[in-house]
């Protein structure tokens, strides 16, 4: 069974075509920096590797490019769309409605649409991918895997906000995000630790960033909340901010609510601090002495360290911390800055190991460290494929 996985992020689309249940990857690729004139399109199979810089103005344009590559007479891996049995979609926000993987129908699409306001950088692109996939692959079953599902185990003490009960009843609560990634890498870490119980802090660092406290394989707290905008400093999202600032912007500086929303989600974070949203550009400028970029890196990692300390407290100790996703896997500098001066918690980094490139799980802590520091490449696509396969074979 061929399952096509579409993983639409805020500025990227990762995709894989996987043969299940063997988990054989037939092709994979990435469209990143979507919305720019120098977007990058990657496509690879056993026989072909393509990397092209081009304008990809929207997620829809990116999805159409990907479909063209899959069906290309010389480069493609399928002759017709009927060779795709299932299309698995990452959907960021499932609200209270979805605690598990779901077959997509009109009702599911409507519920996803109703959650657009809670994940405006993601759910619209996720739904767009679903509707386009229905057109391109009309005979395939469409399956949604929700990022919020993994976090349904968060207890009320961490899930509820300190506001009147009626708001909780109206679905105002912590939902949590990047759950597919946190689930995948934490399971890899648990397997690596090979112990009956585990206390893990999983740090997902990409254009969107989040951190999760995981006890015995279950999420018990998470940095993002009602929508995927809280917590860590991100590419263009502010993360944690005093809500009084919103009132000040509206009542004193004359911003509309729509403008404030745009500001905090699309114009803040590392972009607001430096003018760049891509960490590679920020690191390059910092190396040349750019003070705003140096400070932004310090602020970014300072925020992560605060959460590590908080989660060490609620877990009552740490067995391992995980770095994953684009930045977590590739930025030795960020890992070093996060782990510096955390000896009190038992976290000590081995500089040589930290600077080693790996496509699989890598321990980067010192040999005698009390806490394992793990770099684990996430594979949300494989996790989505496994969940989709289980659903259609249930």
**Largest separation between any pair of C-alpha atoms in the chain:** 61
Query: Residues comprising the binding site?
Result: 7, 14, 90, 204-208, 278-280, 326-330, 380
The alpha carbon of residue 355 and the mean position of all alpha carbons in its chain are separated, in whole angstroms, by 23
116-142 in b/e burial notation, b at 16+ Cβ within 10 A?
A: eebbbbbbbbbbebbebbeebbeebbb
Distance from the first to the final alpha carbon of the chain = 15
Which residue in the list 72, 147, 290, 319 is annotated as catalytic?
A: 147
* Token code pair at residue 110: 């409507």
DSSP state of 150: G
Give me the torsion for CA of 135, 136, 141, 142, rounded to 10°: -70
Q: 3-class SS at 3? A: strand
Per the DSSP assignment, residues forming a β-bridge with 144 are: 89, 102
Q: 3-class SS at 332? A: helix
CB-neighbour burial class of residue 47 (10 A; exposed 0-12, middle 13-18, buried 19+): exposed
Query: Residues comprising the binding site for Mg(2+)?
Result: 7, 380
* Token code pair at residue 199: 């206390």
DSSP state of 365: B
303-313 in b/e burial notation, b at 16+ Cβ within 10 A?
A: bbbebbeebbe
Q: Please, are residues 270 and 298 in contact by the beta-carbon 8 Å criterion?
A: no
Consecutive H or E run containing 42: strand 39-44
Identify the sign of the CA torsion 54, 32, 44, 92.
negative
* Token code pair at residue 144: 């949604």
* Token code pair at residue 97: 């409605």
DSSP state of 98: -
What's the rounded Cα separation, in Å, for the pair 23 and 386? Answer: 8
Q: Mark whether 319 is an active-site residue.
A: no
Active-site residue numbers? 147
């Amino acid at each position: 069974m061929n399952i096509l996985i579409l993983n639409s992020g805020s500025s990227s689309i990762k995709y894989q075509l996987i043969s299940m249940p063997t988990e054989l990857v037939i092709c994979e690729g990435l469209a990143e920096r979507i919305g720019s004139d120098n977007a990058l399109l990657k496509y690879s199979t056993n026989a072909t590797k393509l990397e092209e810089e081009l304008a990809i103005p929207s997620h829809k344009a990116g999805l159409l490019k990907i479909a063209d590559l899959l069906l290309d007479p010389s480069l493609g891996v399928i002759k017709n769309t009927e060779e795709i049995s299932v299309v698995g979609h990452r959907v960021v926000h499932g609200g209270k409605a979805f605690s598990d993987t779901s077959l997509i129908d009109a009702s599911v699409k409507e519920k996803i649409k109703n959650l657009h306001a809670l994940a405006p950088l993601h759910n619209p692109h996720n739904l767009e991918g679903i509707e386009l996939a229905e057109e391109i692959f009309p005979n395939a079953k469409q399956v949604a895997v929700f990022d919020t599902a993994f976090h349904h185990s968060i207890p009320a003490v961490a899930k509820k906000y300190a506001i009147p009960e009626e708001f909780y009843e109206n679905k105002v609560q912590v939902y949590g995000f990047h759950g597919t990634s946190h689930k995948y890498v934490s399971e890899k870490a648990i397997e690596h630790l090979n112990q009956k119980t585990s206390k893990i802090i999983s740090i997902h660092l990409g254009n969107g960033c989040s951190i999760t406290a995981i006890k015995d394989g279950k999420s018990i707290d998470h940095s993002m909340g009602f929508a995927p905008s809280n917590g860590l400093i991100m590419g263009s999202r502010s993360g944690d901010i005093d809500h009084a600032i919103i009132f000040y912007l509206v009542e004193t500086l004359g911003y509309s609510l729509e403008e404030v929303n745009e500001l905090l989600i699309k114009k803040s974070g590392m972009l607001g601090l430096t003018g760049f949203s891509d960490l590679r550009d920020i690191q390059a400028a910092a190396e040349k002495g750019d003070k705003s970029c140096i400070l932004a890196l310090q602020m970014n990692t300072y925020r992560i360290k605060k959460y590590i300390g908080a989660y060490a407290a609620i877990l009552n100790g740490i067995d391992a911390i995980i770095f994953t996703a684009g930045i977590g896997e590739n930025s030795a500098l960020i890992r070093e800055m996060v782990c510096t001066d955390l000896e009190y918690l038992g976290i000590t980094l081995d500089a040589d190991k930290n600077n080693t490139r790996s496509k699989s799980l890598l321990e980067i802590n010192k040999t005698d460290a009390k806490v394992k520091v793990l770099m684990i490449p996430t594979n949300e696509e494989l996790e989505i494929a496994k969940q989709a396969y289980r659903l259609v074979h249930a």
